[in-house]
Amino acid sequence: MPVFFEFLLIACLIYLWESALWLPKQGIALRRGWFGKKWRVIPAGRLLATRELGLVPMLPIPPDLRLLPCPGFPLVSHDSGKIFIETTAGGFLETSANCWYDFRLETHHLSVDYLSVRCQSPRLTELLREGKNLGLDPHKAIRRAWNLALSPARAKREMKRWSIVSRPLRFYGPILACGFFAAIPTAYLTLGPMAALWLAAWLWCLMIATAIHLLWLGKNVFPSARSEFRQDAFLSVLIPFHAMRALELASVHVFAQTHPAGVLVTVGEINHPWLRGFARRLLHPRPSNLGDLALSETALPSLKLILDKRSFALKQFDHAPDRSNDLEAVAYCPRCHGMFLSGTETCSDCGGLALRGFQ
Ligand SMILES: [Zn+2]
């Protein structure tokens, strides 16, 4: 294989590596495709995962404009004041924390007591820091963080702000991709090496412009993730493929304080299957599972409020599943919508939750 094509193959592999978001395993991303109208939920790590992080692939050709990595908030609090932390498997573990001395708000981790969870961005821990600075105790600060994360008005503001401040990156990425994968090889094969070098130099100026824009975003728009934006800017100057995906890579910080439920309500997807499933988890916590109960107590009032404002009753999510493919089923689990034949009274997948009969 000629050296030129070997180089192109390696370039494609590096580009694919850069076309991946690594999110905390418990996180998800929402995406609307180029031509689709529906929002899809992509769990982190369905294709590839490490101990803490899961991969979310981007669409191969930039820009992947409607990719929103929204993690949710990894702490919940029980009405008794007990605090629970999310695990990589998605459940919640009890901590013995009761004051701010038990919390460590690090750049990539949030540690409570002796337990720790990976954070998508420093902006996530900023929500807690704000609560602490307002003089709230951890219990109230967690409830405040959930209120803010679930707010559709806030999600709408974040989406609008990102659409305005990221505008140049929407053009730089596709131009860089076309330049490196199409224009440079064409110039090399038809006009010779010097033409390809001049074109590469011009594209490098575009990479520098991408880096300058990232530095500006970190300094002026998302100051709590400033060092992350600085790191992305540095890599964008050196690695063309990083600059091509700068828009999507930066979105990890942009939507770190936004819950998927807030986004789905904002974009008018109140009846989205993921949102219905999330609401059922809140309405039907697993018996004897204090973590589930704490999640329900923390998030349910805010979710109810935002749905009430849109004249949508939370009870509409609490319906029976469609049993047209399983006519022999006589009961269903109100949480996971598993269907059962007669003789079963509880759902073993949901910790022994009592079943409901079909009407
Ligand atoms: Zn179940």
189-215 residue pLDDT tens: 898 889 989 999 999 999 999 999 999
CA distance 108 to 96: 22
Instruction: Give the pLDDT score at 62.
Output: 63
Cis amide prior to 63 (ω within 30 degrees): yes
Confidence (pTM): 0.87
Instruction: Give the pLDDT score at 204.
Output: 95
Neighbours of ion ligand 1 (CB under 5 A): 333, 335-336, 338, 347, 349-350
- Residue 137 maps to a domain: yes
Burial 219-242 (b: 16+ CB within 10 A, else e): eebbebbbebbeebbebbbeebbb
User: How far does residue 304's CA lie from ligand 1's centre (Å)?
Assistant: 22
- Residue 287 maps to a domain: no
User: How far does residue 356's CA lie from ligand 1's centre (Å)?
Assistant: 11
Q: Which two tokens stand for residue 345?
A: 């009274």
Q: In this structure, are residues 33 and 60 in contact, taking their beta carbons and an 8 Å threshold? A: no
- Residue 59 maps to a domain: no
User: How far does residue 329's CA lie from ligand 1's centre (Å)?
Assistant: 14
User: How far does residue 335's CA lie from ligand 1's centre (Å)?
Assistant: 5
User: How far does residue 320's CA lie from ligand 1's centre (Å)?
Assistant: 12
- Give the domain extent around 100: 75-149
Does 232 score more than 80 pLDDT? Answer: yes
- Residue 87 maps to a domain: yes
- Residue 98 maps to a domain: yes
- Residue 300 maps to a domain: no
Q: How much of the chain exceeds pLDDT 70, in percent?
A: 99
User: How far does residue 273's CA lie from ligand 1's centre (Å)?
Assistant: 16
Count of domains observed in the chain: 1
- Residue 3 maps to a domain: no
